[in-house]
Chain A
């Protein structure tokens, strides 16, 4: 998990509230990713960003939003439009060097529970 921090570790939210999950990396990586993990479904990509001030939707972006104002930070907002937000959220980053292999390195995760 070293080099990528996610906070908080556990997060509780009432229905109808937006909540922001933090992801910070000190690895000087260019690209950052957000995944959602549900039991038996593996990891599904929510959003990713290859460079500052740019990001793209992944496979399940509806109900989520992101920003990438700084290279080291990629916060994820879970909005009230997300119908089933209870899940384990993982942030990852990769160097994106030319010719690189895109090995992703993961943070420790945030478990979000909607009450």
Chain B
């Protein structure tokens, strides 16, 4: 089955320190990978995606993600965390459903807390 895994339910980081939210994937073929962020009682906001090309993908709000094919990982990173980055982060992978259609399969989410 094609899936993503987020091994950490929660990540705590001090404000100003670099942050990493981990994601590993299991897919056949070339993966299309996404990161989304969710603030309390809100919908998901798209941060960035990897389709092909440069392994370092830059996205919104200063976030970036590194695609590593050998480690089947797509970790989300930010050089300097802000308190306002505190939220729930989801990794997702595009999965074919047949007849040229696709759906996204999401990880269970990682709660990021940035401590002042």
Chain B, residue nearest A38 (CB): B108
Interface of A is mostly: strand
> Are A90 and B101 CB-contacts (below 8 A) given A42-B106, A101-B49?
no
The number of chain B residues with a CB under 8 A from chain A is: 24
Query: Which residues 36-78 of B sit at the A interface, judged by CB distance below 8 A?
Result: 36, 41-46, 49, 51
Q: Which A-B residue pairs are the 8 nearest by beta carbons?
A: A106-B43, A42-B108, A106-B44, A43-B106, A108-B43, A42-B106, A102-B102, A1-B43
Could you tell me which A residues sit within 8 Å of B by CB distance? 1, 4, 6, 31, 33, 40-43, 45, 48, 50, 56, 58, 88, 90, 92, 101-109, 111
Chain B nearest Cβ from A35, distance in angstroms? 8
Report yes or no: B44 in contact with A102, Cβ–Cβ below 8 A.
Answer: no
- With contacts A40-B108, A42-B109 known, what are 7 further pairs, Cβ within 8 A? A4-B43, A43-B106, A45-B103, A48-B103, A101-B49, A102-B32, A108-B42
